[in-house]
């Protein structure tokens, strides 16, 4: 019984570790269509949008056709190109840890 | 008895698979996980604590499910954690919040909220089965030990 237990549990651990590494995102989210949250819902960003300096989430992306959205670029969304001082960056703001 | 033991191992393996995968995915993409936690309808001051507590709890449950002595505790903890996730998913589906981004690791984030609920309910179910079988097993072991003691007297 101990052998069966060891086999089943080892398989579970090895499989889950491999799966976690295999599904680790290896792309930057900015390569996907970007959306911004207007307080009510998510809209595609304008062609010349910019992310102003700030610690909130500027743009979001979706992997399931708009069912859920994940944060991507950091800053404050601004669709005025002349106001944009920062290009979207996939790296979120460095928080206090 | 043998079948029941194999079933218990399979349930443990499934829960370990879920918790190890979920915690490791969070650690591997920690920055995204941190931002997603920030976007949850919880006070942002909780985020620095929650981003460590959640994956570490998942790892702790996985470890406790491996060892016979801590397995019952592992099943109970799994039941509580999955129960909380299920309640949270239910609240989201009931449109209690205006919008809640998914905060799950790896491929689980691709699921819809309804699929999430089904997955959570499945794991709540197997946690309950685990608690029942493991408790009976423990009770039987205690009874046998007591009987053996009495037969010596």
Whether A89 is in a domain gets the answer no
Q: Which two tokens stand for residue B79?
A: 């039941």
Name residue, tokens 């670029």. Answer: A73
Cα–Cα distance, B100 to A65 (Å, whole number): 16
Contact B26, A23 (CB under 8 A): no
* Low-confidence winner among A47-61, A74-88, B30-44, B80-94 (lowest mean pLDDT): A74-88
Please, what is the end-to-end C-alpha distance for chain B in angstroms? 28
Is A20 contained in some domain?
no
Confidence (pTM): 0.70
Kindly state whether residue A39 falls inside one of the protein's structural domains. yes
Average pLDDT value for residue range B58-73: 94
Question: Which residues have a Cβ under 8 Å from the Cβ of A55 and sit 6 or more positions away?
Answer: A74, A93
Is the complex ipTM higher than 0.85?
A: no
* Count of all residues that appear for chain B in the document: 153
Residue A86 lies in a domain: no
A60 vs B contacts (CB less than 8 Å): 101
- Chain B residue whose CA is closest to A5: B9
Determine, yes or no, domain membership for A85.
no
Residue bearing tokens 């191992």? B9
Computed over its alpha carbons, how large is the radius of gyration of chain B? 18
Range of the domain at A65: 27-78
Structure tokens at B72: 């019952």
Give which of A7, A13, A16 to mutate to test B binding, by max B Cβ within 10 Å: A16
For residue B92, what is the nearest residue in chain A, using CA coordinates?
Answer: A68
| pLDDT of residue B76 exceeding 80 | yes
Residue A53 lies in a domain: yes
């Amino acid at each position: 019984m101990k052998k069966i237990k060891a086999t089943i549990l080892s398989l579970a651990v090895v499989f889950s570790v491999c799966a976690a590494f295999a599904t680790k995102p290896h792309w930057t989210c900015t390569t996907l269509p970007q959306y911004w949250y207007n307080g009510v819902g998510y809209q595609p960003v304008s062609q010349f949008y910019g992310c102003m300096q700030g610690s909130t989430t500027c743009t979001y992306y979706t992997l399931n056709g708009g069912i859920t959205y994940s944060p991507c670029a950091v800053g404050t969304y601004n669709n005025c190109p002349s106001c944009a001082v920062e290009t979207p960056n996939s790296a979120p703001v460095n928080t206090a840890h | 008895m043998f079948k029941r033991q194999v079933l218990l191992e399979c349930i443990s393996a499934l829960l370990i698979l879920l918790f190890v995968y979920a915690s490791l995915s969070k650690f591997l993409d920690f920055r995204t996980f941190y931002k997603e936690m920030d976007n949850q309808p919880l006070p942002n001051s909780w985020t620095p604590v929650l981003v460590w507590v959640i994956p570490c709890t998942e790892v702790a449950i996985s470890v406790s499910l491996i060892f016979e002595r801590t397995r019952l505790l592992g099943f109970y903890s799994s039941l509580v954690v999955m129960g909380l996730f299920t309640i949270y998913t239910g609240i989201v589906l009931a449109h209690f919040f205006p919008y809640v981004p998914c905060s799950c690791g790896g491929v689980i984030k691709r699921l819809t909220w309804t699929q999430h609920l089904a997955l959570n309910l499945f794991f709540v179910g197997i946690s309950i089965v685990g608690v029942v079988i493991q408790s009976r097993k423990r009770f039987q072991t205690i009874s046998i030990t007591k009987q053996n003691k009495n037969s010596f007297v």
